[in-house]
């Protein structure tokens, strides 16, 4: 297995990497977003976003609420049509050859329904067969995923009755089922209890260690700092910093760097004199 992570890092140095030149499929980054833009009516949600996710990297996308994280990721996986810009997954354009691109990526969107009235195993079987896997493979992988994600006890529970954490886990299982090379996960740790979070973390780390790339969005800085080797900060629809975690935080904690980058001011110090008087 050729580890291409090093090369990816070099692409990142010096802020935005060189675009334009067509990389050959062997060295194209796992995910490359160029000039992505999306406006809803007059609100510009995503404004000229550039991102490069190197192969084999664990990439965190952070930003305040409403910064455009979910919008960007939705456009990156083909769930939302961009107004402008291109998205390439391992060099394959998502919007020009969606069939090839979508075979390479596993997706966990945030706040979207699954086929709710199936059990976990039924959902995985359905997903696998829909992906064109054969029945024996689907059955074996589904059993293994349910076991690792500790969803076997809930064998006969419908997804609609799952807790938030279980939903994230079964969503992750559907994303992993076809053995993708890139995982795009929107808020995979939101509302997940610490034990399940640790399970998910271990699975993702193993996935990266075996050569896969992960992109996840979050607004928990400690988590991104601990888990990811690359990070991009997005605010008001623009990427304001991107690169290896060390480089982006520049000697401070990621949280300090983040507050500084998004131009935030930690409020709460003034007024309210009547409180607890």
Partner 1 sequence: MVGVLIRMKLRVLSHSLGGARAASFAFGALVGLAAGGVSLFLVMLGYQNGVSIGTTVASVMMLLWTIGWLIGPIIMGGGDETLRPENFALLPLSPTKLAFGLLGASLAGVPPVATVIAFLGLVVGALWLGALPAIVAVVTAVLALALTVLLSRVVVGALGAVLGSRRGKDLGVLLAALAGLSYLPLRYAGEALAPVILQNNPVLGGTLRWLPTGWAPAAVEGAATGNWLAVIGAVLALAAADGLLLLAYSRLLVLRLTTPQTNVGPAKAGRVKASGRSLLPATPVGAVIGKELRLWWRDARRRAMLLTSVLIGLFIPVFSSAGGRGALVMLPFAGLWVVGFSMLQVSNLYGFDGTSVWHTIVTPGAARADVRGRQWAWGLIVGPIAIVAGLVLPGVAGSWWAYPWVLGVLPAMLGGGAGFMLLLSVYWAFPMPVQRGSNPFNQGNRPGCSRGLVRLLSMLFLLVIALPSLILLIVGQIAHNPVLSWIAVPVGLATGGFAAWWLGRLAERRLLARGPELLAQVKAAG
The least CB distance from residue 41 to partner 1, in Å, is 13
Q: Which is nearer to partner 1, 136 or 275 (CB)?
A: 136
Q: Smallest distance from the beta carbon of 104 to partner 1, in angstroms?
A: 9
Helix (H) or strand (E) holding 240: strand 238-244
Question: What are 255-260's contacts with CB under 8 Å, separation 24+?
Answer: 255/221, 255/222, 255/225, 257/233, 258/62, 258/221, 258/233
Residue 251 token pair: 């000697």
Return d(Cα 254, Cα 252) in angstroms, integer: 6
Please tell me the distance from the alpha carbon of residue 21 to that of residue 6, in angstroms, as a whole number. 19
Measured from the CB of residue 213, what is the shortest distance to partner 1 in angstroms? 17
Compare residues 37 and 131 and give the one whose CB is closer to partner 1: 131
Report in angstroms how near the CB of residue 129 gets to partner 1 at its nearest: 3
> CA torsion, points 57, 62, 68, 74, in degrees to nearest 10?
30
Q: How far is the CB of 148 from partner 1 (least distance, A)?
A: 20
Taking the least distance from each CB to partner 1, the nearer of 141 and 249 is 141
Question: Cβ 80 to partner 1, closest distance in Å?
Answer: 5
Token pair recorded at residue 78: 């083909």
CA distance 205 to 184: 14
Distances from the Cα of 184 to the Cαs of 101, 137, 161, 215, 216, in angstroms?
A: 13, 23, 25, 5, 6
User: What minimum distance in Å lies between the beta carbon of 43 and partner 1?
Assistant: 15
| 65 vs 266, beta carbon nearer partner 1 | 65
Give 94 or 245: the residue with its C-beta nearer to partner 1.
Answer: 94
What is the binding site for partner 1 (CB under 8 A)?
77-81, 98-100, 102-103, 105, 107, 109, 111-119, 121-122, 125-132, 134-135, 154-158, 160-161, 174
Q: In the complex with partner 1, which residue's Cβ is closer, 34 or 95?
A: 95
| Contacts of 275 by beta carbon, 8 Å cutoff, 6+ apart | none
Structure tokens at 14: 């010096």
Q: What is the Cα–Cα distance from 116 to 105, expressed in whole angstroms? A: 22
Residue 177 or 231: which CB sits closer to partner 1?
177
Q: Which residues pair with 32 in a beta bridge?
A: 52, 88
């Amino acid at each position: 297995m050729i580890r291409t992570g090093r090369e990816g890092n070099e692409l990142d140095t010096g802020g935005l990497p060189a675009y334009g030149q067509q990389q050959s499929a062997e060295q194209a980054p796992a995910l490359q977003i160029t000039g992505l833009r999306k406006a809803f009516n007059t609100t510009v949600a995503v404004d000229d976003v550039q991102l490069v996710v190197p192969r084999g990297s664990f990439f965190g996308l952070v930003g305040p609420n409403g910064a455009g994280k979910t919008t960007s990721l939705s456009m990156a996986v083909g769930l939302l049509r961009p107004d402008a810009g291109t998205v390439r997954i391992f060099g394959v354009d998502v919007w020009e050859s969606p069939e090839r691109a979508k075979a390479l990526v596993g997706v966990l969107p945030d706040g979207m329904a699954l086929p709710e009235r199936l059990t976990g195993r039924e959902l995985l079987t359905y997903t696998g067969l829909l992906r064109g896997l054969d029945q024996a493979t689907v059955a074996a992988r589904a059993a293994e995923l349910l076991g690792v994600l500790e969803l076997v006890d809930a064998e006969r529970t419908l997804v609609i009755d799952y807790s938030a954490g279980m939903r994230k886990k079964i969503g992750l299982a559907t994303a992993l089922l076809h053995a993708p090379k890139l995982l795009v996960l929107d808020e995979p740790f939101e509302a997940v209890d610490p034990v399940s979070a640790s399970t998910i973390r271990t699975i993702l780390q193993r996935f990266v260690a075996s050569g896969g790339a992960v992109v996840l969005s979050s607004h928990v800085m400690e988590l991104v700092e601990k888990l990811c080797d690359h990070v991009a900060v997005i605010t008001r629809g623009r990427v304001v910093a991107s690169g290896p975690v060390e480089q982006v935080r520049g000697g401070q904690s990621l949280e300090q760097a983040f507050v500084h980058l998004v131009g935030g001011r930690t409020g709460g110090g003034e007024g309210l004199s009547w409180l607890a008087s």
